[in-house]
Amino acid sequence: MTLDTISSARAFGGEQRVYRHASAATGTDMEFAAFLPAEALRGEACPTLFYLSGLTCTWENATTKAGYQRLAAEYGLILIAPDTSPRGEGVANDAAYDLGQGAGFYVDATEAPWAPHFAMESYVARELFDLVSAELPVWEGAVGVTGHSMGGHGALTLAMKHPDRFRSVSAFAPIVNPLDCPWGEKAFTAYLGADRATWAAHDACHLVEQAGWSGDILIDQGTADGFLDEQLKPWNFERACRKAGVDLTLRMQGGYDHSYYFISTFLADHVAWHAARLTG
């Protein structure tokens, strides 16, 4: 598979790059951002962290707003930020912000008109993972995943569904229980059909109770987040982890909202947390 470099810029001794490639999973061209620290530029194997973005976002939101380059350079981490959905002419879409392009929910759609292109679980956890591992100096077995909101849902579910690939997991304000929130119910009905029994395989609360997690989990959640009570419900995941005996650190951050101001404030803690688990 060929990686085309769209852009590259020096940052903190490394390079912030954006790549494009043809995706077999989505049947479209896909773009992703990759920060390579100085160690990676020298060809040294580096631990790697995937960052999954939320609704309406592309790779650009985290790349320009989160400030992760300095942190990734400090810990010698490769940081990969994929897009949130397939895009382009002929790709199904919806007028609403929470369905269609920009809202792939990190699942493989089975329903029309989404099924031909919306295969974001296969894309992130298989195709992109394998591509990055083959083309960049990724330290084998030292890959973690984090994400925000819809991307936090993706981080938690993909880690638990693919524990052979992701060694560490954290999240910012994740959608933890899509079976019990409007965002999840809308997206899963469209992408997976009306049978709620099939949704459970993509619900973090259900997955942690059924499959558990061998390590610990870190979640930060702002108390002033306007989506907290209706869409996010972190206490549901807290109860599920307690029931499953999984070590969860849920930090309720007073006065913080759902924005990148919140993410950038606590990102250093998450990068350090992943670095310790990926290199320890």
Cα→Cα distances 194→125, 179, 190, 198, 213, Å: 25, 12, 8, 9, 28
* Residue 264 annotated in active site: no
Tracing tokens 């049947």 back to the chain, one arrives at 27
Instruction: Name the phi and psi angles at 204, rounded to 5.
Output: -60, -35
Please, which residues bridge with residue 252 across strands?
221
Q: Closest by alpha carbon to 30, among 167, 131, 160? A: 131
What is the C-alpha separation between 174 and 95, in angstroms, rounded?
23
Comparing CA positions, the residue from 103, 93, 107, 89 lying closest to residue 27 is 89
**Which entry of 117, 202, 206, 258 is annotated as an active-site residue?**
258
Give yes or no: 258 in active site: yes
Whether residue 274 lies in the annotated active site: no
C-beta neighbour count of 201 within 10 angstroms: 16
Which among 83, 203, 220, 225 is annotated as catalytic? 225
**C-alpha to C-alpha distance for 256 and 223, rounded to whole angstroms:** 6
Q: Which of 23, 53, 149, 170 is catalytic?
A: 149
Catalytic (active-site) positions: 149, 225, 258
